[in-house]
Structure 1
Amino acid sequence: MRVLAAMSGGVDSAVAAARAVEAGHDVTGVHLALSAKPGTLRTGARGCCTIEDSRDARRAADILGIPFYVWDFAERFTEEVVETFVGEYAAGRTPNPCVTCNEKIKFEALLEKAIALGFDAVCTGHYARLSVVDGVPELRRSADESKDQSYVLASLTPEQLRHAMFPLGGSRKPDVRAEAAERGLAVAEKPDSHDICFIPDGDTKKFLESRLGERPGDLVDAETGAVLGKHTGVHGFTVGQRKGLGIDAPAPDGRPRYVLSLEPVSGTVKVGSSDELAVSRIDADRAIWPSQRPLDGPTECVVQVRAHGGMAPAVAEADGDEVRMSLREPLTGVAPGQVAVLYRPDADEGDVVLGSAKIAATA
């Protein structure tokens, strides 16, 4: 097959490309330039897709003996990922930009261009497994559960998965680094990127205020309605947040307060105890079924609401593109705008992704 290997400049994508070459595919490497000012996207081990990374990717491609190109996706990345991120926070929701990037950039924009150029598949260094059942792709958790990235890939469509390759799905990170060293790849010990690539200093609040300005409002006790303080914008908060609330007086019982809900129209941030954070029902919309198998009646599953952690057994029901999940065990810190991913447990071959949907409300 003709394979386009997306090479970020890190160890995972380099080894994934190497394995595609070793498997006998006709491989071409490509690095995605996602910023008009790439020097602003990395601070130490933070961020990704910088000039430094493109050079690391090129050196890896040279060692593998494959053609290599840099494609400029900066404008589309800004529109699809950065502006969506800002807009979601302005609306009082908590988005995951990595989900959006995989959906809109790596497996929409990139895949569209790859197919137009005659490639059969896009290969990435994601830790996830793909299998085919009755001619339909199934996305599964990786063998290394600590690195599993099936959550951020769960918004991909069946057609996108048919053209995807994840060579690292059955591997563990230490083994991938060891393999990179054996292959003479200089990125073998390169640190993983962390946080949001377009916020390299990790200060999301400062970044959002630079885009949205100040939108003052009240911090309100959810139980009594008492105004506890002021804030500069709901975009500076997310459900479940404890630190940085700006409340001087402790709660009457001395326990910490947490953000319970955000009301962007009125500018109200409601806070309360950790007990009030627990939710037992999640309503979501914009459902995607990666294996073309929508839920058929009430379905026992595991729901995951964050890329790492936030899992609970549940019964899920679908109605069109809407999904209601009744949790067997309560979850905390569940915010509108997050993605809820539904899994069918499979201890032997990795849990199977049933579908994903955007969280709209909780109870």
Structure 2
Amino acid sequence: MSGGVDSSVAALLLKRAGYDVVGVFMRNWTEPDAAGRCSAEEDFADVRRVAEAIGIPYYAVNLEAAYREKVFAYFLEEYRRGRTPNPDVMCNREIKFGDFIEEALKLGADFVAMGHYARVRREGGRVLLLRGVDAAKDQSYFLHQLSQAQLSRALFPIGALTKAEVRRIAREAGLATADKKDSTGICFIGERDFRQFLKTFLPAQPGEIVNVDDGRVLGRHEGLMYYTHGQRHGLGIGGGFGPGPWFVAEKDLVHNRLYVAAGRDHPALFATALLAEDVRWIAGAPPDRVFRATAKFRYRQPDRPVEVEVLDERRAFVRFEAPERAITPGQSVVFYDGEICLGGGVIDRVRRPYFEARRSAFGDVFDRVLL
């Protein structure tokens, strides 16, 4: 139980269904934010209020050390590599459905239930991961790296509900979290300024902002780690440099340059394929060596048709049916067959035809990130 409305209603529904329910709160990050506020204490107070209202016992487990080692260290390393990480995916795989399940089993649990908008279906000795019914809240994207062993212990009681239905159930039951605002962003950053937080752990290295078309220097960036592909705001480029508006097209880690392109539809922003690493399959194996599916390259993005070629146990090559904008190394590519989530991996390298056609102008500085 996180202290939010979703896990509160998940616990309530299980209790009503006759399960023996125990509420467990994870302490993953307890440092106060810039305002001196520690949301973990406030959240645990809400867990206590809800658990007492439902009539279930509740506990707190401290997983801060594991979280720092498995999620926060990964987060920093990805930014150090010039990529944009997805800590929610890693938290689900390593903490919520890893260390936390182990703690739950020590308490004698048979299953772990969470307030995710996703569903599981057990058939033929396998567990399938399905999208949540509420398309606007579906969280299967963040669960795509779970194994059969992990999913076999998972219950998602609100996966067949919409957010509006969840809040209605909470209000009717008089739960303290019924109208609590949804948490957003990354838990360990909280209300802090992102750049200031990251600067505390990684030294910023300012450099040039360069027009991808002609090599003109347009300004200075504050550090490549602060920018992501397709980003428009925060570049600090005024209106005196031509057509604009400017968008991040690519990062040159060798020379510490940030390449930008003028206009949202500039060809430098589009890719036709990607190489994924650390690929995991929900079923334990891919559907075939080469298969067609749909994919998401970021959360809440509409599905896109793709062809997937499995290269080896942990890598896949993904071709797009149509060019896709702002494909970002470090983010997740997640594959679907209708409502079934097949699995996915981390975007490692990207094929951008604009750079291929002009490779002589850029040399080999992008070889680590471009196909």
The DSSP-based 3-state class of the residue aligned with 1:245 is coil
Please say if residues 122 and 164 of structure 1, whose CA atoms lie closer than 8 Å, have aligned partners that are also in contact: yes
CA shift for structure 1 position 57: 0.6
Give structure 2 stretches of 5+ with no counterpart. 352-371
The DSSP-based 3-state class of the residue aligned with 1:160 is helix
Query: For 1:1-363, what aligned pairs fall within 5 Å after superposition?
Result: 7-37=1-31, 39-40=32-33, 50-201=40-191, 203-248=193-238, 250-252=240-242, 254-273=243-262, 274=264, 275=266, 276-309=268-301, 311-320=303-312, 321-345=314-338, 351-363=339-351
CA shift for structure 1 position 154: 0.7
Please say if residues 282 and 359 of structure 1, whose CA atoms lie closer than 8 Å, have aligned partners that are also in contact: yes
Question: TM-score, normalized by length of structure 2?
Answer: 0.88
**Amino acid in structure 1 at the alignment position of 2:310:** A
Q: Deviations over 1:108-147 (max 9, x none)?
A: 1101222244321110000001112211111111110011
Over 4 Å off, 4+ runs: 41-44
RMSD across aligned positions (CA): 1.9
For 2:316 and 2:146, locate their aligned partners in 1 and report how far apart those are by CA, in whole Å.
17
Please say if residues 310 and 316 of structure 2, whose CA atoms lie closer than 8 Å, have aligned partners that are also in contact: yes
CA shift for structure 1 position 172: 0.6
For 2:135 and 2:39, locate their aligned partners in 1 and report how far apart those are by CA, in whole Å.
25
The DSSP-based 3-state class of the residue aligned with 1:228 is strand
* Distance of aligned partners of 1:316 and 1:217 in 2 relative to their CA distance in 1, 3 Å threshold: same
Please say if residues 42 and 200 of structure 1, whose CA atoms lie closer than 8 Å, have aligned partners that are also in contact: no
For 2:302 and 2:211, locate their aligned partners in 1 and report how far apart those are by CA, in whole Å.
25
For 1:108 and 1:258, locate their aligned partners in 2 and report how far apart those are by CA, in whole Å.
38
Please say if residues 204 and 222 of structure 2, whose CA atoms lie closer than 8 Å, have aligned partners that are also in contact: yes
Question: TM-score, normalized by length of structure 1?
Answer: 0.90
Please say if residues 34 and 192 of structure 2, whose CA atoms lie closer than 8 Å, have aligned partners that are also in contact: no
Moved more, 284-293 or 76-85: 76-85
* Distance of aligned partners of 1:339 and 1:41 in 2 relative to their CA distance in 1, 3 Å threshold: farther
Q: Deviations over 1:281-329 (max 9, x none)?
A: 1210111001223131321211101122153111111122111111112
Structure-2 residue corresponding to 1:348: none
For 1:206 and 1:333, locate their aligned partners in 2 and report how far apart those are by CA, in whole Å.
25
For 1:8 and 1:270, locate their aligned partners in 2 and report how far apart those are by CA, in whole Å.
40
Moved more, 273-282 or 175-184: 273-282
Structure-1 residue corresponding to 2:358: none
The DSSP-based 3-state class of the residue aligned with 1:81 is helix
The number of residue pairs the alignment matches comes to: 347
